[in-house]
């Protein structure tokens, strides 16, 4: 490993504030697979089109865990539309940069959020 993670990233890694599972979540996004090393589960609770609660469970490296935690922080309290506008670049910048081989970790977090919102949208339409 010939790179160094930022202090901010390491704070998210050591003390993730949003780790956990939401029972009866309104939407769940699952991405990644074990053979690639990263698996992310993202849970959202939505009220009046706003993400009022969001939690993650991640098996992965420090970049994956901190990206998950930061994403939850960013998405919480946002409307679905605004949450959908969070980009990979936002995460990378706020994490103080990521080395090239770790960029996919931020993408994975965004994917998980999109899948959770998609899951919510489908379930909501069925109601």
Partner 1 sequence: MKKVYLDNAATTKMADEVVKAMNPYFSDKFGNASCLHSFGQEARDAVENARKIIADKINAEPEEIIFTSGGSESNNLAIKGIAYELKGRGNHIITSKFEHPAVLNVSKELEKQGFKISYLNVSRDGFIDLEQLKQSITKQTILVSLMHANNEIGTVQDIEKIGRICKEQNVLFHTDAVQSFAKVGIDVKKANLSLASFSAHKLHGPKGIGALYVKKGITIKKQIHGGSQEFNQRAGTENVSGIVGFAKAVELMKEKDIEKMNTLRDYFIEELLKFDGTSLNGSKENRLCNNISVSFKNVEGESVLLALDDKGIAVSTSSACTSAKLEPSHVLKAIGLKPEDSHGTIRFTLSKYTSKDDVDYTLNSLKYVIKKLRGISPE
Active site residues: 36, 105
Among the listed residues 44, 46, 51, 65, the single contact to partner 1 using CB under 8 A? 65
DSSP tag of 58: E
DSSP tag of 79: B
- In the complex with partner 1, the residue whose CB is nearer, 51 or 72, is 72
Judged by CB under 8 A, does residue 8 bind partner 1?
no
CA distance 115 to 121: 10
Q: What torsion do the CA atoms of 30, 37, 69, 17 make, to the nearest 10 degrees?
A: 100
Among the listed residues 22, 50, 61, 107, the single contact to partner 1 using CB under 8 A? 61
Phi-psi region of 99 (alpha: psi -120 to 50; beta: other; left: phi over 0): beta
Judged by CB under 8 A, does residue 19 bind partner 1?
yes
Phi-psi region of 24 (alpha: psi -120 to 50; beta: other; left: phi over 0): left
Among the listed residues 25, 39, 91, 117, the single contact to partner 1 using CB under 8 A? 39
Judged by CB under 8 A, does residue 38 bind partner 1?
yes
Among the listed residues 51, 64, 98, 113, the single contact to partner 1 using CB under 8 A? 64
Binding site for partner 1 (CB under 8 A): 1-3, 5, 10, 13-14, 16, 19-20, 30, 34-41, 56-62, 64-65, 99-102
């Amino acid at each position: 490993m010939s790179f160094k993670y930022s202090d901010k990233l390491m704070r998210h890694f050591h003390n993730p504030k949003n780790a956990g599972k939401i029972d009866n979540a309104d939407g769940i996004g699952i991405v990644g697979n074990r053979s690639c090393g990263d698996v992310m589960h993202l849970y959202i609770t939505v009220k009046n089109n706003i993400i009022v609660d969001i939690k993650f469970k991640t098996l992965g490296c420090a970049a994956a865990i901190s990206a998950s935690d930061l994403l939850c922080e960013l998405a919480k309290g946002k409307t679905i539309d605004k949450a959908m506008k969070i980009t990979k670049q936002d995460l990378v910048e706020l994490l103080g940069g990521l080395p090239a081989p770790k960029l996919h970790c931020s993408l994975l977090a965004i994917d998980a959020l999109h899948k959770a919102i998609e899951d919510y949208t489908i379930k909501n339409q069925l109601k």
